[in-house]
A and B are shown apart, each in its own frame.
Chain A
Amino acid sequence: MAAPQTLFEKVWRHHEVVAETADTPAVLYIDLHLIHEVTSPQAFTVLRQRGLGLRRPERTFATMDHSTPTRTEQVFGGAPITLEDAARQVSELERNCAAFGVELLGLRDARRGIVHIIGPELGLTQPGKTVVCGDSHTSTHGALGALAFGIGTTEVGHVFATQCLLQRKPRTLAINVNGALQPGVTAKDLILAIIGRIGVGGGTGHVIEYRGETIRALDMDARMTVCNMSIEAGARAGMIAPDETTFRYLAGRPRAPQGEAWAAALERWQQLPGDPGARFDREVDIDAAALEPMMTFGTNPGMVIPIGGTIPERTGDPAFAKSLAYMGFAPGERIQEHPVNVVFVGSCTNGRLSDLRAAASLLRGRKVASGVHMLVVPGSQQVKRDAEAEGLDRIFIDAGAEWRESGCSMCLGMNGDLVPKGHYAVSTSNRNFEGRQGIGARTLLASPLTAAACAVRGRVTDPRELL
């Protein structure tokens, strides 16, 4: 009898074109390649230089999200994209997709959105698939039981030309999460706590599988939030075994298998969860019941504390001191009650419908505090339409927030949606790196509930005070 296998091992094995040896990495087959305007142009250039085409253009899907505008008049109204370079990237992607036969969900397409939101939303992302994209947050797609990871632009070119990648088999890390999340504590708080626990390099060289009753109880949006930030712990990918929640989510989505193909797919997908007794290289246990709303205080996502906690002291660590100086914080200080200038709800981490519902639930009948700029950016045009059908846009607008078209927006500020220098931004995105949201911007990562609570009070606020 074959040795028991983990979910990751099963997916890996199914895609080994050539197994790895001591001298050579494995040749791994890629089922789904997602591309966007920022990390693809140089890969298309290599194809042109070498006279190559796409081996399987039908396995590649393109959209634009990183440098695209979120102002309606620039997306639909014919107003020019303000940033000249961004406009050039958008038109170059259009030209490349047309030349190489790649399906593109372009700027005004009703299905456009952040690449990691639309993959699952359209049903392109499926259990057991290998999914890659020139973007580190590709780990998001692992929430459906896919093996999904970010790659560089050279590798984008490899997938274009061969539909394969050269890969060393990563190690496996099980993160076992048990216990019920308390009211006001969300998937975002859970993943921030996990990163705080294992560190920003703690997952390096590993694929994480999130397991346990807490994970099983999460809906798909929440599972995607968890897998999305696997990369912030340095992990190659994050995965969750597919189950009834996954299958219910996928059923009927436009690119999911239909009819007889659905039944056959379901049978395959049900074989994917890890076998009893399958071994991981490492395991970490997390007690979800003990978690509180979390917020970062420094310049990487591992610098995180419960929202009511105090900033720790780390003497003799110049990087830690540099980070606190950038943030304008001191050891021993509390972040709670600290004034907030900007609140951003959106991104591939927290730009899905349930995230917008959570933020809206706290804003309903309330106002964004004066002096606070709140930006709500849905993760896709579909999320935007769904939110509008429920009237969430009215709640945000009535509260005084801005309601925009979809895109990466203020998560990385490539499109000009920026946090001003020195300002404190409570952000539902994934990275609080120096300058990530704008030169000198100070990012406090948190959940959509916490972000909304901070917007209402104009200060760092525990969302449980407003529930």
Chain B
Amino acid sequence: MEPIRTLRSRTVVLPVSDIDTDQIIPARFLTTTTREGLGRHLFADWRYAPDGSERPDFVLNQPQAAGCTVLVAGHNFGCGSSREHAPWALTDFGLRAVISTQFADIFRSNALKNGLLPVLLEQDAHRWLIEHPGADVTIDLESTMLTLPTGAAVRFPLEPFARYCLTNGVDELGFLLGRAAQIESFESQRSRA
């Protein structure tokens, strides 16, 4: 995984609450056996008309969304299905961070494992971002601060371990494999019990 220390981008705003992972990527695209190339199915039912053409009124299809790596969404993003295809689709599309006032647990965990940063903001800063689409923001992982174009900086919570993994490009599997001795001893204690 590539280390991430700072993200700078204009935002793209999708002001809908409770966006579930079935919207992020519908189940009919889960018959894949790889994780690549899912960006084209991101928000498929909102992004495309029945004939497959792009809906011009959907925010990700608008010219100002091009090149944006930060998505601002409504409350409780990523609820529902545990499909990791959701962060795979978001990152394959080019997004590196999602900003919301609440993330579903499994989505947050999946996102962090794929270098997609869930930025949990308090309501005032979140509302400001919803009201100012295309704002230039800077997200700094070392200080866990998000800076608005007004110069205001707001802190967001990020678990120390998640921050360590993201900023160093460490994957958790390596960390867990490094605990083999403890796992071994746990298993042997249990089998004696």
Contact B182 A201 (CB under 8 A): no
Taking CB atoms and an 8 Å cut-off, the chain A residues in 372-431 that contact chain B are 412-414, 431
B-chain residues with CB within 8 Å of residue A431 when the two chains form the complex: 20, 22, 80-81
Most buried by A among B23, B106, B159, B177: B106
Contact A433 B23 (CB under 8 A): yes
B105 interface contact, C-beta 8 A: yes
CB distance from B1 to the nearest CB of A (A): 10
CB distance from A142 to the nearest CB of B (A): 15
The residue that A152 contacts in the complex, of B15, B20, B84, B179, with Cβ under 8 A, is B84
Contact B23 A434 (CB under 8 A): yes
B-chain residues with CB within 8 Å of residue A50 when the two chains form the complex: 173
Contact stretch, chosen from B60-68, B108-116, B132-140, B141-149: B108-116
> In the complex, A461→B104 CA distance in Å?
34
B26 interface contact, C-beta 8 A: yes
Contact B106 A151 (CB under 8 A): yes
CB distance from A233 to the nearest CB of B (A): 10
A447 interface contact, C-beta 8 A: no
Contact A27 B27 (CB under 8 A): no
A205 and B105 contact, Cβ closer than 8 Å, known pairs A39-B82, A318-B15 = yes
Contact stretch, chosen from A86-94, A114-122, A214-222, A328-336: A86-94
CB distance from A141 to the nearest CB of B (A): 14
Most buried by A among B34, B114, B179: B179
The residue that B33 contacts in the complex, of A42, A66, A134, A302, with Cβ under 8 A, is A42
B-chain residues with CB within 8 Å of residue A38 when the two chains form the complex: 30-31, 83
Contact B20 A22 (CB under 8 A): no
B-chain residues with CB within 8 Å of residue A29 when the two chains form the complex: 183, 186-187
Contact B45 A435 (CB under 8 A): yes
B28 interface contact, C-beta 8 A: yes
A-chain residues with CB within 8 Å of residue B109 when the two chains form the complex: 151-152, 155
Interface string of B81-125 (1 = CB under 8 A from A): 111100100000000000000111110011001100000000000
> In the complex, A39→B103 CA distance in Å?
21
A152 and B106 contact, Cβ closer than 8 Å, known pairs A17-B183, A201-B75, A300-B18 = yes
Contact A41 B33 (CB under 8 A): yes
B176 interface contact, C-beta 8 A: yes
Chain B: residues with Cβ within 8 Å of the partner, total of: 52
A-chain residues with CB within 8 Å of residue B104 when the two chains form the complex: 201, 204, 234
A67 and B31 contact, Cβ closer than 8 Å, known pairs A152-B110, A433-B20 = yes
**Which single residue of chain A is at the shortest CB-CB distance from B46?**
A434
Taking CB atoms and an 8 Å cut-off, the chain B residues in 1-55 that contact chain A are 15-18, 20, 22-23, 26-28, 30-35, 45, 50
Contact B82 A150 (CB under 8 A): yes
B167 interface contact, C-beta 8 A: no
A-chain residues with CB within 8 Å of residue B33 when the two chains form the complex: 41-42, 45, 88-89, 92
Contact A300 B79 (CB under 8 A): yes
> In the complex, A55→B161 CA distance in Å?
24
A161 and B31 contact, Cβ closer than 8 Å, known pairs A17-B186, A23-B161 = no
The residue that B27 contacts in the complex, of A25, A158, A204, A436, with Cβ under 8 A, is A436
Most buried by A among B27, B75, B81: B27
> In the complex, A383→B177 CA distance in Å?
40
Taking CB atoms and an 8 Å cut-off, the chain A residues in 140-178 that contact chain B are 150-155, 157-158, 161-166, 168, 170
CB distance from A349 to the nearest CB of B (A): 14
**Which single residue of chain B is at the shortest CB-CB distance from A91?**
B33
A103 interface contact, C-beta 8 A: no
Contact A152 B113 (CB under 8 A): yes
> In the complex, A134→B173 CA distance in Å?
16
B180 interface contact, C-beta 8 A: yes
Contact B27 A414 (CB under 8 A): yes
A83 interface contact, C-beta 8 A: yes
The residue that B177 contacts in the complex, of A24, A25, A67, A161, with Cβ under 8 A, is A161
**Which single residue of chain B is at the shortest CB-CB distance from A431?**
B80
**Which single residue of chain B is at the shortest CB-CB distance from A27?**
B179
> In the complex, A157→B171 CA distance in Å?
12
A88 and B161 contact, Cβ closer than 8 Å, known pairs A152-B109, A204-B105, A434-B45 = no
A413 and B182 contact, Cβ closer than 8 Å, known pairs A204-B102, A322-B16 = no
B-chain residues with CB within 8 Å of residue A45 when the two chains form the complex: 33-34
Contact B159 A158 (CB under 8 A): no
Taking CB atoms and an 8 Å cut-off, the chain A residues in 2-45 that contact chain B are 17-18, 22-25, 27, 29, 38-39, 41-42, 45
Contact B160 A22 (CB under 8 A): yes
B-chain residues with CB within 8 Å of residue A433 when the two chains form the complex: 20, 22-23, 80
B-chain residues with CB within 8 Å of residue A300 when the two chains form the complex: 18, 20, 79
A-chain residues with CB within 8 Å of residue B80 when the two chains form the complex: 136, 231-232, 431, 433
**Which single residue of chain A is at the shortest CB-CB distance from B15?**
A318
A-chain residues with CB within 8 Å of residue B182 when the two chains form the complex: 17-18, 27
A-chain residues with CB within 8 Å of residue B16 when the two chains form the complex: 318-319, 322
A-chain residues with CB within 8 Å of residue B18 when the two chains form the complex: 200-201, 300, 302, 319
Q: Which 7 A-B pairs have the closest CB atoms?
A: A85-B31, A152-B110, A41-B33, A152-B84, A201-B76, A150-B82, A136-B82
16 contacts between A and B (CB under 8 A): A38-B31, A88-B33, A89-B31, A134-B82, A151-B106, A153-B35, A154-B84, A154-B110, A158-B172, A158-B176, A168-B159, A200-B76, A234-B76, A318-B15, A322-B16, A436-B27
Give me 8 other A-B pairs in contact (C-beta within 8 A), A166-B161, A201-B102, A434-B45 excluded.
Answer: A38-B83, A154-B84, A157-B173, A300-B20, A318-B16, A431-B81, A436-B22, A439-B26
